[in-house]
Amino acid sequence: MRLLFLLLATALLCSCATRVTSLQNDQNLVLKQGKGYVLFGIQTNQNLKTINISGPQNIQLTSKDIKEGTNYLLVDIEAGTYTIDRLMLDNYWELVFDDEESWQFDVSADEISYVGHLEVVRRGHWYPRINIELVNRSSEALEFLEENYSNILMTNSVVYGGPGQDRFFEFLAAQLEE
């Protein structure tokens, strides 16, 4: 019975998620009321199928954006608190995250919220061991924004919205004001 309920809940959640893709050009969009930019870093040693994220706007990152290597995604979504719920490695392996606090992040309205770097390292094929962490690499994220989205960066402040606290972006903003 539990398995049936879990399958139905999974199907319902997957069908309600909005598939998003990273912004392709450096044009500063006029954000709608209550929306902000979110910047994800993803580093993996394999192509991933999907990442499901729940929150004010349920979203799904697809294999188009989460390929093997290091990827960044800059997406405009509703502001609020989000949780990474599940990760589909391929057609056979799915991971469900139970510890919400470790996988939660906040998106602020009218700002760029860097939420961390999702590192997924898989070892083995038939019985894989998988290490997954959401780590903070604020300086690398800022370099990426400067190189690829300088127009958006000039008109929007950057804040850290991932687990824990980081004052790096606040420190930089204070240095620029002096």
* Three state DSSP letters for 114-169: EEEEEEEEEECCCCCEEEEEEECCHHHHHHHHHHHCHHHHHHCCEEECCCCCCCHH
Cα separation of 164 and 166, whole Å?
Answer: 7
Domain count, the chain: 1
What's the pTM value of the predicted model, to 2 decimals? 0.83
Domain with 75 in it: 2-177
Q: Do the Cβ atoms of 136 and 111 come closer than 8 Å?
A: no
Q: Pick the closest to residue 114 from 150, 88, 153 (CA basis).
A: 153
Tens-digit pLDDT profile for residues 85-132 = 999 988 888 889 888 888 999 999 999 999 999 999 988 877 778 899
Cα separation of 106 and 119, whole Å?
Answer: 19
Tens-digit pLDDT profile for residues 16-72 = 667 666 676 777 677 889 999 999 999 999 889 999 999 999 999 988 878 877 889
